[in-house]
Chain A
Amino acid sequence: MTIDWGWIADHVDDMWSTTVEHLILTVIAVTVGLVLSLVLAIVALRWRRSYAPITWVTGVLYTIPSLALFTFLVPVFGLSLLTAEVALVSYTLLILIRNIVAGVNGVPAHVIEASRGMGMTDRRIFLGVQLPLALPAIIAGVRIAAVTTIGLVTLTVLVGQGGYGVFILRGIRRQFLTEALVGTVLSVLMAVAVDVVLIVVEQWATPWSRRRAAS
């Protein structure tokens, strides 16, 4: 087993464009997942009894084997970006909703009481107090969702999308180890890089928690 360094040198441009595809697929999935999760989390927070059914449904989605989900969706949406994203988004929901709800519920009751007592409206309390204070938990959820999604995007090649899955699948079919390995290693590297970026984003977005650690 040897690595074909010559092939790698010849395909740098290819790797670059594949990286961009992979990243776009990931960003769309996590962004849509986050927006959808925010809406569902607000519903769950507003009507407490809806939390159990929401987590049950998203929990079931989370347990469906990804290969099977792509297969089920193809007859509906075809070999399309939509199929890929519907599957990818559905895997982010459980983690994100749970973290948003936990983050918002973790805001101390006395902070909410003081907010209300000073004349803040419920909307303002949610947007100005609960959501910002839930940020560490939300970003922690986004980190898990992003890393998971980056791994899953390698499968979207099966529904005709790009990304590192192209290298992996082609490498396996041609029994060309170097290409499969390049796809795998790049996917892992991207997961690590995105995780690090999100850690930096969290520190930047929550200066108060950083200072507490310092003091």
Chain B
Amino acid sequence: MGEAMIRLEAVTKQYDGTTSPAVAGLTLDVPEGEIAVLVGPSGCGKTTTLKMINRLIEPTAGHIVVAGRRVGDMEAHELRRGIGYVIQQIGLFPHRTIAENIATVPKLLGWPRARIEERVDELIEVVHLEAELRDRYPAELSGGQRQRVGVARALAADPPVMLMDEPFGAVDPIIRSALQGQFLELQREVNKTVVLVTHDIDEAIRLGDKVAILNVGGVLEQYGPPEDVLREPANEFVAEFLGRDRGLKRLGLIPIHAVDLEPGPSLAPAATPEEARQVMARHGVDWIAVVDGTRLLGWAPDTALVGAATLGDVALRPFRTVISHDASLKEALDAVISSRSLAAAVLDGDVFLGMLTAETIGREIVQ
């Protein structure tokens, strides 16, 4: 974890003609290279907070420091050129081509033409846009493509900080999920300090290294890694905002390889039906998995063992409930409860790592 790249110090915003502040004395640190998600119900001041960072809104009191400098001490437009900005409606220039849109900030900064061209090509690749879209106009693109152009445009001058206001809010749920995944992948490469605003708690949990749960009036209720917030909500408001399925949500954050797997009811091909029956009895199941070294060969029901000398002689059935070790426990739970045996085989590529049972997952929820 790095130094605080963005620091909000007792920031308050009260709009003219209102009796209560939109944001009240908010203090918040965003460490370098992390994604901090501001999430909360409407009226919680999350967008106001975001816009105070790049001075689209001026705070009534308090200070905001970006990369060691108070934002109020800089020319607003100079400050903004050093901060990537993505909004829900993207706000692409309809009259400029995709390449020209992406080149906006480098052009403002007076980069030489050749360098701009090079950077545009690079970014088109980085955000997985087709190269032939380069000279198209925004109206000719799909919503998902436009969103990626918006991200490319924000990244163009390689700013250390990115502000994103509901960046995935304007695309349909399937594309949104794909774009979120791509964004996380991208972030692993570019390592920006990101402040992202959303009203969607699932998006916050998925994207945030830290989540800030804000209440109406810009009151910070809790700030921390999503896993901590889910495990230990600071108060009733946070618990309610997270939803009743917060245990399940937390499972979504834990990868399978983070828990201890059991070998389960499995034996080598050389084992005898007698040994198999003992293992089955011990696990209370009526089937046995056959594992040759690290390779999962399949499974057989106890009725198939009659007359066989070893398990290797039995006609095995393929395992239907297999799951990759980098899936989340939530996905694993879904696989397990849909399987007849309430167990899933966990594989790393072809290598059998063990079995995951409803019991194992249950233990993780209780923790």
- Chain A positions near chain B (C-beta within 8 angstroms): 108, 110-121, 124, 129, 132-133, 206-208, 211-212, 215
Contact = CB atoms under 8 A, between A and B. Distances in A.
A212 B137 contact: yes
Given A110-B90, A208-B95, A116 B56 contact: yes
A120 B108 contact: yes
B87 A113 contact: yes
23 contacts: A108-B89, A110-B90, A111-B91, A111-B92, A111-B93, A112-B91, A113-B87, A115-B91, A117-B54, A117-B85, A117-B91, A117-B163, A119-B78, A119-B79, A119-B81, A119-B82, A119-B108, A120-B104, A129-B93, A208-B96, A212-B94, A212-B140, A215-B139
B137 A108 contact: no
B80 interface: yes
A44 B79 CA distance: 29
Contacts of A129: 93, 95
Given A112-B91, A113-B87, 10 more contacts: A110-B89, A114-B85, A115-B91, A115-B93, A117-B80, A118-B80, A119-B76, A120-B77, A133-B94, A211-B137
Interface residues of B, number: 31
Contacts of A117: 54, 56, 80, 85, 87, 91, 163
Given A118-B104, A119-B78, A208 B85 contact: no
Nearest to B136: A211
Contacts of B91: 108, 110-115, 117
B56 A208 contact: no
A195 to B, nearest CB: 23
Contacts, number: 76
A63 B112 CA distance: 53
Given A121-B77, A208-B139, A114 B87 contact: yes
A24 B191 CA distance: 62
Contacts of A215: 139-140
A206 to B, nearest CB: 7
Interface of B: 54, 56, 76-82, 85, 87-96, 104-105, 108, 136-140, 153-154, 163
Contacts of B92: 111, 114
A142 B78 CA distance: 37
A133 B139 CA distance: 13
Contacts of B137: 207-208, 211-212
B90 to A, nearest CB: 7
A59 B170 CA distance: 42
A119 B105 contact: yes
Nearest to A121: B77
A124 B93 CA distance: 13
Contacts of B94: 111, 133, 208, 212
A30 to B, nearest CB: 24
A212 B105 contact: no
A118 B87 CA distance: 11
Given A118-B85, A129-B93, A208-B95, A113 B56 contact: yes
A110 B140 contact: no
Nearest to B88: A110
A111 B93 CA distance: 6
The 9 A-B residue pairs with the shortest CB-CB distance in the complex, in nearest-first order: A114-B91, A119-B81, A119-B80, A117-B85, A110-B89, A212-B139, A110-B91, A208-B137, A119-B77
